[in-house]
Structure 1
């Protein structure tokens, strides 16, 4: 944000300097004919209004962050903070204020003559046009900024981007996982936190320099603690080499969306769980999240199926475990099925979601779908006492997925 605002301030300084240099090139009578003498008043109005708009925008953004944290989940507020439209609008308003101040200072210092004011007026008109466009976009953004639906869309976009990247590189550019030899040397983390990024290029270079095979034990999103191996190496190394190896793992205080597709799924689940809480009681949002998750899993299945035969392996001596679809399903469906177990609409929507995923025909989904569909159906039937609700959930379920989960007390005697 500071970079864009600095550009506007730099524009004001450059305009002042060009105004001095351009004096001989501009006809003396032009300034009066186009009203360039009023540019000082325009800059004063611009500076005052931009300061007010910036203050209002900051207050609105802080309010939106708080609303997203309370109505969705605090983990999603980071995406609002990083929203490029909001940052661009705020940077434009602050930058326009700086431009106006620099122009007013240059006018007060007498840097511009009548001819130089023409150039300042042209630059000011250009800034006003840019402010107008930015303000219109910002008004549209404010109508949905911080809303639950907009927050879900932001999380979905970030999760889809991470899933697409992982589908292209299921092993992060390394080789498919294989078990390390029994005498492999474990390299443990010296920090406590989440793995945010793994530098595969650095690991590949390290394996070549030290002639070792590297078997990763963690992925981005894993929690690293001393005593838990980051990887196992085929040969023992001295302390300086081991410390250099650890530098390929970036450890932070929290998980990130960029390289961790499962984190996006967890955040979506948190939004659904909060919506299903008695204090909120908003099953519609949970249904929206279920649809979003189905959309993401469908994209994952298409991406994995289309890339399985053309996966690039750039680091052949770095063996990486792939994301397990069963873990991804576990991140989402158990919590939603648990908190929505007594709601007919949630039970039906979950079973329809499992049927939709089953129709994709993705082989890696088969076992997780059966497991989660059966568990969700059992939860729903156990929590519902009204027989028509139980029958509706069973009617929406696919027998091949849920199996024989009908409780004995509801079965008719032979």
Structure 2
């Protein structure tokens, strides 16, 4: 039962992430609504309205057919125009910013709902049009259903205006950067609030001699069914360590977890069903991807073909805020059971690896730009001033600042520019512990 429930939860999570899921629900809803209106017509809703409120009912068959045919053709035209424009904008975003941001733009639920409403209205109008029979009896004409179709078509026009406004804003680089930042920030805050990691680390046993469990498929390790995994630990009276961080691309046969007891094949299968895999990366599941995407946008903006340092500077600003939040999280995470005992240890990317992963490409592609070097050093200075900086994090930040200063000395030939870059070094030296840690300008 545990295996089936876990598989069902992961299946639902993957299904709802598909671009066609919500439009399909709307289309099915439009079909059901059409049949419901036809049933109401069979019960005499139009004849009742003709007798009591005739101004609400269309009682001419030719007029009804003409209106519905016009609405069907118009809605199809709007759909083609709307989503042709979307494809053009997505192609522009991929070329100018980064291809990795496309899944976030495509999965926008607002745009999916607009598409779904288009399709639902289209299906409804087709269904009502087919129900109009060639007769002179006005009571057999689905007049009220036609009126509802007119109202729905007016809403389609309103949604088309909203769609144009929404997509024109969503494609703006500032909106894209802010969206990535907000998703990564939300995920980080969730992880920070989850566990009391200091106390749990001291109580969690050494895992060196634990039994490894190999993964049985290939893909991006995205989600963990925590409830099912906790239940498995309780049933087997064991503890588990996740060996790879979420968001990692895992090949079949690679150890993904360690268990304090040796598991048989059935229990290994139950354990593996608690892990969700995908062929794409999602920021809401893995905050590291937020750092990756912001870094890639900044690097792409500094390419000669784009030449947009303003966007790169904005990305560094948001990265600085995310790093300041990441400083509040330990380099390890635990999940506790109902007795507040740590039974699951999660592998995470440590702060040193993360900050090097971000600044290494920035230094490689921006070391000839004085403004970008100055901005990166300012970001590190801002992080050094953070109240949550630990001793090891301070050393990591200083080492990264030294790497930037070294690149500046080799790439920047103008002495005045170098003095401006090294002026931030003096500010960093004012912080305790950095007086003798930063390299000098004189060579």
Instruction: Identify which of 38, 45, 65 aligns with 1:16.
Output: 38
- Counterpart CA distance in 1 for 2:194 and 2:99 is 29
Instruction: Identify which of 389, 392, 396 aligns with 1:368.
Output: 396
Look up the SS of the partner of 2:256 in the other structure: strand
Matched, 1:404 2:415: no
The range that moved more, 124-133 or 109-118, is 109-118
1:170, CA displacement in angstroms?
Answer: 5.7
Which residue matches 1:25?
48
Which residue matches 1:395?
423
- Counterpart CA distance in 2 for 1:65 and 1:269 is 19
Deviations 1:38-67 (A, max 9, x none): 443332221111100001112112112222
Deviations 1:100-153 (A, max 9, x none): 211211224669944864422441343134223312211212323434333323
- Counterpart CA distance in 1 for 2:290 and 2:228 is 26
- Counterpart CA distance in 1 for 2:201 and 2:137 is 67
Instruction: Identify which of 93, 98, 104 aligns with 2:129.
Output: 104
Change (3 A) 1:197 1:358: same
Alignment of 1:67-78 (within 5 A): 67-78=92-103
TM-score (norm 1): 0.86
Which residue matches 2:251?
225
1:168, CA displacement in angstroms?
Answer: 2.5
The range that moved more, 391-400 or 72-81, is 391-400
Matched, 1:279 2:305: yes
The range that moved more, 236-245 or 218-227, is 218-227
Look up the SS of the partner of 1:236 in the other structure: coil
The range that moved more, 3-12 or 281-290, is 3-12
The unaligned stretches of length 5 or more in structure 1 are: 410-414
Look up the SS of the partner of 1:278 in the other structure: coil
Matched, 1:269 2:295: yes
- Counterpart CA distance in 1 for 2:137 and 2:114 is 30
The alignment of Structure 1 onto Structure 2 pairs a total of residues equal to 404
Deviations 1:220-244 (A, max 9, x none): 1133335642222222222222232
Matched, 1:82 2:126: no
1:270, CA displacement in angstroms?
Answer: 1.0
Look up the SS of the partner of 2:110 in the other structure: helix
1:405, CA displacement in angstroms?
Answer: 1.9
- Counterpart CA distance in 2 for 1:370 and 1:49 is 62
The range that moved more, 23-32 or 36-45, is 23-32
Change (3 A) 1:112 1:312: farther
- Counterpart CA distance in 2 for 1:44 and 1:71 is 41
- Counterpart CA distance in 2 for 1:95 and 1:226 is 42
- On the 8 A contact 1:23/1:113 being kept in 2, the answer is no
The range that moved more, 328-337 or 361-370, is 361-370
TM-score (norm 2): 0.81
1:188, CA displacement in angstroms?
Answer: 2.1
The unaligned stretches of length 5 or more in structure 2 are: 1-22
- On the 8 A contact 1:185/1:235 being kept in 2, the answer is yes
